[in-house]
Amino acid sequence: MSKHVFRRCACRDENGKQYGASCPKLENPKHGSWGYYVAGGIDPITRKRIQYRKTGFSTQKAAREARNDVASKVDRGTYIAPTRETLATYLDAWLPRRAATGQGLRQTTVDNYRRYIDNDIKPSPLGAMALTDIRRFHINEFLGSLTAAGRGATTVRRVAAVLQGSLRAAARSNRIDHNPATELELPTVDSGEVHAWEPAEVGVFLDEAAKHRLGALFEVAMFTGLRRGELLGLRWTDVDLIKRTISVRNNRVQAKGQVVENPTKTASGRRTVDLDDRSVGAFVALQILQAQEQTDGQEAYTASGYVFTMEDGRPLKPQYATRLFDRIRVNAKLPKLTLHGSRHEHAALMIASGVDIAVVSKRLGHSSISITSDIYGHLIGSASRDAAQGAAALVPARSSGAHTVHTQGQISTPEHEKNRPTTGLIPSV
């Protein structure tokens, strides 16, 4: 028998010492278990011999096959020894490292990751598993359990994103020999259609908002499509009323009860947005109001430089803007819509007016036109028909025989075509 594959047991003699491979009961082929040994060379740091051992195999064949697999990986330098480090322990160390890399992971994203790790992953059986033992089916079973527990598809996919990112990093750092969080069975998110107010309802809302000192905030929101964080991160240095543009550079959001400000998340989010007459008027009125409030407040006033502020000049908190929007909506007795919904409202108004989807996408700061089409595709139909009709109307019909829906009667089939077989194909022209 090869010394690299052996059989032993856990029986002990009268002194409590294990017999190991010398147990007399090993004559019984069902006694004990099989194991293997692989030499891994010399550790370059400790200068000690590296050995890989594993027991518990029921047959000699199973032990030999496992040993050959390990030995092959050791020879190629791809073998990762089993670890006792659990997924939960690894994630606690991984998240701070990931947040410290400075590769675009915002504080709000870090907070969400921490919540998913603490509330979903760590308490689960998956969290208690050794990192090197995790396989794809373990992750799929875990995600399936979240769905069965009533978690939404979006939440499940976000938890999966944490696992995908963390295990990808583990594979890259050779903690595991492959990333098991690939090709996962993820639930489908039913995004549904975006429903917006009618233009008349937008008018009712803005009339009600005009009664508040921050009415300009919602006027600009409706007619620029900026995100809440982009609106609240706007400074007067970003506003050019001569050129009638605003430069979107900052995103002011709330994380762990604290307000943080970062540059826009993507390159497409950093953009210049043209202003309409109403938005320009709103900015001018707000400048006049802030100048008066600064005069009245004197030393108590904080000249923060932000466009949308409290009476004392301090920048707005995101949650305050959200609650104020909803309070105005309720006072106006309008259907449910959030402050973020004003962004959708702006897109709907532009599409209804016949604006090209590429222009809409650029104004909203989407990374691709396909995203805009996916969200607002159902709104394009009527605008597309109106555009088609408008294009046709530009061409004068000079011939009295020109076909129109209103002037032509039923078109008769020529005699020589009546007996022609139908193929279902469109004839070439």
Give the model's pLDDT for residue 386: 56
300 and 225 housed in the same domain: yes
Q: Would you state the torsion angle of the CA atoms of residues 173, 176, 178, 181, taken in this order, to the nearest 10 degrees?
A: -100
Question: Does any domain span residue 131?
Answer: yes
Q: Which two tokens stand for residue 350?
A: 């532009």
Least confident residue range of 65-79, 240-254, 328-342 = 65-79
375 and 227 housed in the same domain: yes
Question: Does any domain span residue 326?
Answer: yes
More confident residue, 293 or 50: 293
Give the end of a domain, one of 157, 172, 187.
Answer: 172
Q: Give the span between the Cα atoms of 287 and 302, in whole angstroms.
A: 15
Expressed in percent and rounded to 5, the helix, strand and coil fractions of the chain are 50, 15, 40
264 and 310 housed in the same domain: yes
DSSP 86-99: BHHHHHHHHHHHHH
Question: Does any domain span residue 395?
Answer: no
Q: Is the pLDDT of residue 425 over 50?
A: no
Cα distances from 138 to residues 88, 95, 105, 125, 185, in angstroms, run 14, 21, 27, 9, 11
Task: For residue 59, count other CB atoms closer than 10 A to its CB.
Answer: 12
What's the pLDDT band for 415 if we cut at 50, 70, 90? Answer: low
164 and 235 housed in the same domain: no
Give the end of a domain, one of 172, 188, 215.
Answer: 172
Give the model's pLDDT for residue 134: 94
151 and 114 housed in the same domain: yes
Question: Does any domain span residue 82?
Answer: no
327 and 356 housed in the same domain: yes
Residues 6 or more apart whose Cβ sits within 8 Å of residue 26: 7, 8, 9, 32
pLDDT digits (tens, 9 = 90+) for 360-383: 888 888 877 777 777 766 565 555
∠ at Cα 85 (81, 86), nearest 5°?
A: 125
Region 146-171 average pLDDT: 91
- Tally the domains of the chain: 3
318 and 219 housed in the same domain: yes
Please report, for the domain that includes residue 233, its CATH number: 1.10.443.10
Question: Does any domain span residue 115?
Answer: yes
Question: Does any domain span residue 185?
Answer: no
More confident residue, 175 or 16: 175
Q: pTM of the full predicted structure? A: 0.57
Q: Is the pLDDT of residue 174 over 90?
A: no
Give the model's pLDDT for residue 135: 95
Give the model's pLDDT for residue 103: 59
Give the end of a domain, one of 127, 156, 172.
Answer: 172
Q: What percent of the chain has pLDDT over 70?
A: 83
66 and 106 housed in the same domain: no
Q: Is the pLDDT of residue 411 over 50?
A: no
Give the model's pLDDT for residue 426: 35
Region 155-164 average pLDDT: 94
Give the model's pLDDT for residue 142: 96
357 and 271 housed in the same domain: yes
Give the model's pLDDT for residue 137: 96
pLDDT digits (tens, 9 = 90+) for 300-320: 999 999 999 999 999 999 999
Domain interval for residue 11:
5-76
Question: Does any domain span residue 60?
Answer: yes
Mean pLDDT, the chain, as a whole number? 82
257 and 324 housed in the same domain: yes
Give the model's pLDDT for residue 40: 77
Q: Tell me which residue of 375, 36, 79, 332 sits closest to 202, measured CA to CA.
A: 332
224 and 153 housed in the same domain: no
pLDDT digits (tens, 9 = 90+) for 213-254: 999 999 999 999 999 999 999 999 999 999 999 999 988 887
232 and 120 housed in the same domain: no
